[in-house]
Chains A and B, each alone.
Chain A
Amino acid sequence: MSDTIQRGVSLYSFQHETFQGLMSLEDCIRTCAEMGANGIEIVGEQTFWGWPEVGVPEEKIAEWHALMTQYGTHPVSHDFMLDYKRYKDRPMPFDEQVASIRKDIDFGARLGMPYLRALVSIAPEVLVAAAPYAEEKGIKLLLEVHAPLHFDHPWIIRHAEAYEASGSAALGFLPDMGMFVHRFPQVWKERFMRNGVPRHIADYIEQAYEDRVLSEYVILNVREMGGEGPALAMAETLRHNAAFEPKRMLDHMSRIHNIHGKFYQMTEDLVEPSIPYDEVIAVLKQGGYTGHVCSEYEGNRWVEDAETVNSVEQVRRQQEMLKRLIGEPAPAAALAA
């Protein structure tokens, strides 16, 4: 067990490069290791072709473990999807959902994962039913608490209550720091303006976000300003994002085992202007958190139309920021220099 917050990366961060075959799995792992971000999180079916419908051959699993050993990294989380809309004409039955999670638990166990990420829309009863099998395999199932949901939302409270009632330690949370967007991200604003939003409307929406105005009022006002198409789409981002408070995690620390270090933009001076990471890390320290914060870069989709995406540089900057906020001692070589 670590006595401090640990750093990791979700390979989701490198999706722009891996999608195009510009980075291999080994490139990703080596890149993380070079940043001292030794915890590795994956979206299983992004990293491993074939999962879940076709399966993954044993040599791919062996390659994964060999890379962990070679680069001194370790598995943190397999993010599973559970496609309960697999059938067009009917929802997936309860038992089949549980069976699907058991299959992902087996996959996570093959990869040596201590945690599995469950999407926030999965019903609490399904996770509770899958928990005994997770316990058996030494794995915890973590619900990703993700905007627009948050720790005070009734859906999340239902989950928390169900986990307590189950008595299982294999159920927990994985908060996504995108819940704490305190300023409208500049990369979003710029993209919406390239999509045709007039500057005065974009400025209004940004200010309204700053003023914490209810999304529905902002949407109405934009409509009355003559906004349409992209302007309404920009206003509607306020329905899905809000400046919730990091300290709301404190009530749940005993069940929080992994963190998505979501970010949209890291500036050259190592700041994420829209998410208050200084406050986030302070809260995690206060709560005694010793798990990983895994970088989750999601700026690529906001800039890919205008510039060459450089996910590695973005993640490197966030890792530098995290290192400073966590207060990691400088490496001995640097001290000697």
Chain B
Amino acid sequence: MFDQLMLCDEGFENVVENGETVGFALTARLPYYRGLGLSMIEDVAVTVDGEAIPREAIRVTLRGRTWALADMESEYGDRWNFGEKARVTALKPGGLAPGRHRVEIAERLRISYLPFVPTTRCTKELELAA
């Protein structure tokens, strides 16, 4: 469900810190009818124009707090809420070239009552904000 609503159009942009482009960011939601505690979010995988971003280079930001994926797995005090837009940052020196890019996101959630661990994907052509 909501697989085509995981990637949002807004917030797809390069991330500049101290005058240096350190990566790019996008806006994403969970493909789920409720939110989920962060420790149960096993993976947020980003692929852009066919290039997979390494897991260690992903950061997730919610309400001003930021986690690396490995740290999220032991975060028991916060959650990604139902329909909430997270800023997902991919650390990639130089960022992305201006223009359109094919972006894929794949989210793997450990859901207590399911007899499997689902991964849901969404692919979209997004225009990098200037």
Contacts and interface: CB of A to CB of B under 8 A. Distances in A.
A53 B42 contact: no
Contacts, number: 77
Majority secondary structure of chain A interface residues (helix, strand, loop or mixed) = loop
A63 interface: no
A26 interface: no
B113 to A, nearest CB: 4
Interface stretch (B12-20, B31-39, B51-59, B99-107): B31-39
A64 B108 CA distance: 33
A82 B76 CA distance: 13
Contact residue range for chain B? 20 to 34
A54 B79 contact: yes
A76 to B, nearest CB: 18
A49 B77 contact: no
B40 A49 contact: no
Given A43-B33, A83-B40, A120-B113, A305 B83 contact: no
A87 to B, nearest CB: 7
A85 B112 CA distance: 5
Question: Among A53, A121, A304, which residue has the most Cβ atoms of chain B within 10 A?
Answer: A53
Interface string B17-51: 00000000000010001111111101000000000
B79 A50 contact: yes
A153 interface: no
Interface in A295-315: 300-301, 304-305
A84 interface: yes
Interface string A81-94: 11111111000000
A45 B77 contact: no
Interface residues of A, number: 30
Nearest to A146: B113
Interface string B63-85: 00000000001001111011110
A166 interface: no
A81 B1 contact: no
A12 interface: yes
30 contacts: A12-B33, A16-B2, A18-B82, A19-B29, A19-B33, A19-B83, A43-B33, A45-B79, A45-B81, A46-B82, A53-B37, A53-B79, A54-B77, A54-B78, A54-B79, A81-B34, A81-B113, A83-B37, A83-B112, A85-B112, A86-B37, A88-B39, A88-B42, A88-B73, A119-B112, A119-B113, A121-B113, A301-B2, A304-B1, A304-B4
Interface of B: 1-2, 4-5, 29, 33-40, 42, 73, 76-79, 81-84, 110-113
